[in-house]
Structure 1
């Protein structure tokens, strides 16, 4: 892992930690055996160097694809191109992660000021969307209080591709907080009171018996991103919501499973006073 780099690839005076190699599992997403006669659970381990960069215009399409994943089945409800443009317009805030010699980012983390950009279409869409979802969960009053309060709200956007390890999140978040401190010192509008994160979830769905009657079973929730389990510990407000446009049959349903996993989201709101402890928790729990 290398330090963060700027647009012209010159080093910034910010170090994300000691250089290291991150071992990644090089597996087929389908889980099928790669070669006949090999053990089913055999994994090939490869060493990969990755680096942190400032967001660049060349990252546009990759970031848009990751945002489509972040917003799931409801992605078409948002102006994602405009959202990426907004991210790239503040190119000194946030990070992307790239493998050595590859131009496409495999992960990114940034934050957008929902007050300063309140008139921008994608921010209006996201705010209205979350308020509607919160209303169904009885959290609209609290969320409105946060959105309409005097303190600025930061929309924390974090996404990565399959097999990118969660260990990249802690250094990215630490760098982000430092960048925000520098920006505030320069008089820029990044003094956030709250941070809002949309965490991808999977919820176990109930199955019906042969007569179509649902069987009662404990509901199991699981985070798609391992780091969100620790971030939730510091959330002062949270609520779950389903996609408006979701029409898919739950995944992983087969003859050996009575239930499937349906994608959903959990909105987490973190007060700025919790950020130092949150970063320390991530660094400890997801140590390189």
Structure 2
């Protein structure tokens, strides 16, 4: 028998219906603050400028995003409405710069092999998705304006096996970073076990998106990832590859706003606290509530916090979630969108 070739990737929904989006004053305030950050690639504080801050950059709005409601006085407008098309794609090399922009502060301000990390994400096409604006309007068909392939890339999600890629410099540096920022001895011991002895059963869940990527996309985005992980355990061409997606744990690295007057106050244990933690990505609260291990860490990169959050400081957050809890994550994500 001939060698089995790479299976055709089973693809769920790749294009979503146009979304009517609402950008709240809170979201816009964060976006404007990030656009004005000192380390921004463009100092213009307008929402059309790019910034180097992870998860908050606002790329030049693609032509497919059309504003349908506006006001002459932006300050008096509580909600800004736009209509947009978004599509899901397999990662490809042409997405390099867009994904790198999303991830450039993934490990705070640590110099590390970010390019190699992005390459791993883009090379793993059977598990992973990028989200782009639907820029194929009739008026744009056949128009070659020299745009990069990754222009208009809004989000990326993937899961990398820490054992499979253990010899890559970027993964070695990432593991060392996580151990260095963990100040709790007990948590560090457990984390070290996951990163080393049990690494082949641990997936690094990478999920980054810009603030103007609508939350309605989040449940199908995670559904796509977890479906692909499941399919990979059956469809990958070798037993070694199939086994590499049989995760027992997921590790997530994200960011939160923590109230300055609260000392390591955990939202799930302190309901009487006055908003001790604000989750930048709403799904992170779901992961946190289900986490078997978590710890915050201090960020060293200069942070510019919006006026509305002057009593908060931005912190890093590492979470470990059991793969057995993925069905709960999916259910809670759908419920969260339904309630919003």
| TM-score w.r.t. length of structure 2 | 0.68
Separation in structure 1 between the aligned mates of residue 203 and residue 229 of structure 2, nearest angstrom: 11
Pair 88,273 (structure 1): closer, same or farther in 2 beyond 3 Å = same
- Return 169-178 or 272-281, whichever deviates more: 169-178
Distance 1:20 1:35, change over 3 A: closer
Instruction: After TM superposition, give the deviation of residue 43 of structure 1 in Å.
Output: 3.4
Residue of structure 2 aligned with 1:195, choices 228, 250, 255: 250
Q: 57, 60, 64: which one pairs with 2:93?
A: 57
1:66, 1:160 within 8 Å by CA — same for their partners in 2? Answer: yes
In angstroms, what is the RMSD of aligned CA positions? Answer: 3.0
**Are 1:251 and 2:299 matched, yes or no?**
no
Structure number with the higher strand fraction is: 1
* 1:232-272 CA-partner distances (Å, limit 9, x unpaired): 122111111112x3344x62459xx8x43321111110111
Moved more, 92-101 or 35-44: 35-44
TM superposition score normalised by structure 1:
0.80
Match of 1:270 in 2: 321
Which runs of 5 or more residues in structure 1 are unaligned? Answer: 1-10, 207-216
Closer/same/farther in 2, CA of residues 136 and 219 from structure 1, 3 Å limit: farther
1:22 and 2:19 are equivalent in the alignment: yes
1:129 aligns with 2:182: no
Displacement of 1:169 in angstroms is 2.1
SS in 2 for 1:77: coil
Distance in 2 of aligned mates of 1:219 and 1:15: 37
Q: How many residues align?
A: 261
Gaps of 5+ in 2: 1-7, 34-45, 47-69, 137-148, 262-272
Structure 1 residue runs of 4 or more that deviate by more than 4 Å after TM superposition: 34-39
Give the secondary-structure state (helix, strand or coil) at the position aligned to 1:192.
coil
Residue 212 of structure 1 corresponds to none
Contact 1:64 1:84 survives alignment (8 Å): yes
Task: Report the 3-state secondary structure (helix = DSSP H, G, I; strand = E; otherwise coil) of the residue aligned with 2:325.
Answer: helix
Q: CA deviation at 1:133?
A: 1.6
Alignment of 1:112 onto 2:166: no
Q: Is 1:161 aligned to residue 210 of structure 2? A: yes
- Equivalent-residue separation in structure 2 for 1:44 and 1:252 (angstroms): 18
Aligned counterparts of 1:272 and 1:101: Cα–Cα separation in 2: 35
Query: Do the aligned residues in 1 keep the contact of 2:14 with 2:88 (CA within 8 Å)?
Result: no
Contact 1:48 1:99 in 2 (8 A): yes
C-alpha contact (below 8 Å) 2:204/2:250 kept by paired residues: yes
Measure the CA separation in 1 of the matches of 2:118 and 2:74. Answer: 43
Residues 27-75 of structure 1: per-residue CA shift (max 9 Å, x gap): 864399x86556613433121111111111111001001001433x42x
Q: In 1, distance between residues paired with 2:106 and 2:21?
A: 22
CA contact (8 A) 2:93 2:123 kept: no
Which residue of 65, 68, 81 maps to 2:104?
Answer: 68
1:172 and 1:82 map into 2 onto residues whose CA distance is: 24
What's the offset of the Cα at 1:14? 3.0
